[in-house]
Amino acid sequence: MRTIVVDYGAGNVFSVLRALERAGAMATLTSDARLIENAERLILPGVGAFADGMKALEVRDLVPSIRAYIRHERPFLGICLGMQMLFSESDEFGASAGLGVLTGRVCRIPSQSVGGNLVKVPHIGWSTLTPGSSQSWDESALTGLPKDPAVYFVHSFHAVPDESEIRLAKCDFHGHELTAAIQRGAIFGCQFHPEKSGPVGLKILENFLSF
Catalytic residue among 37, 40, 193, 206: 193
For the chain, helix (H) and strand (E) counts, in that order, are 6, 14
Q: Which CATH number fits domain 3-209: 3.40.50.300, 3.40.50.880, 1.10.1040.10, 3.30.70.20?
A: 3.40.50.880
pLDDT tens for 20-58 read: 999 999 899 999 999 999 999 999 999 999 999 999 999
Specify the pLDDT at position 106: 98
State how far the Cα of 158 lies from the Cα of 14, in Å rounded to an integer.
24
Angle between helices 13-22 and 198-209 (to 10 degrees): 80
Specify the pLDDT at position 1: 63
**Is 80 designated active site?**
yes
Return the percentage of the chain with pLDDT > 70, whole number: 99
Rg of the Cα atoms in the chain: 16
Catalytic residue among 123, 155, 174, 195: 195
pLDDT mean over 63-76: 97
pLDDT mean over 184-197: 97
State how far the Cα of 116 lies from the Cα of 205, in Å rounded to an integer.
37
Give strand ranges (E) for the chain.
Answer: 3-6, 28-30, 41-44, 76-79, 87-90, 96-97, 102-108, 123-128, 130-131, 150-155, 157-161, 167-173, 176-184, 187-190
**Is 193 designated active site?**
yes
- Name the band, by pLDDT with cuts 50, 70 and 90, for residue 136: confident
- Name the band, by pLDDT with cuts 50, 70 and 90, for residue 179: very high
Q: Does residue 135 carry a pLDDT above 80?
A: no
Angle between helices 63-71 and 50-59 (to 10 degrees): 90
Phi and psi torsions of 185, nearest 5°: 60, -125
Q: What is the DSSP string of 59-81?
A: HTT-HHHHHHHHHTT--EEEETH
Q: Could you tell me the CA-to-CA distances from 37 to 30, 44, 187 in Å, in that order?
A: 11, 12, 15
Specify the pLDDT at position 197: 98
Q: Does residue 12 carry a pLDDT above 90?
A: no
Q: Does residue 79 carry a pLDDT above 80?
A: yes
The burial class, CB within 10 Å (0-12 / 13-18 / 19+), for 73 is: exposed
Catalytic residue among 37, 80, 155, 158: 80
Q: Does residue 173 carry a pLDDT above 70?
A: yes
Worst-scoring range by mean pLDDT, 92-96, 128-132, 155-159, 197-201? 92-96
**Is 155 designated active site?**
no
Specify the pLDDT at position 2: 87
Task: Supply the DSSP symbol for 105.
Answer: E
Q: Does residue 10 carry a pLDDT above 90?
A: no
- Name the band, by pLDDT with cuts 50, 70 and 90, for residue 134: low
pLDDT mean over 104-122: 96
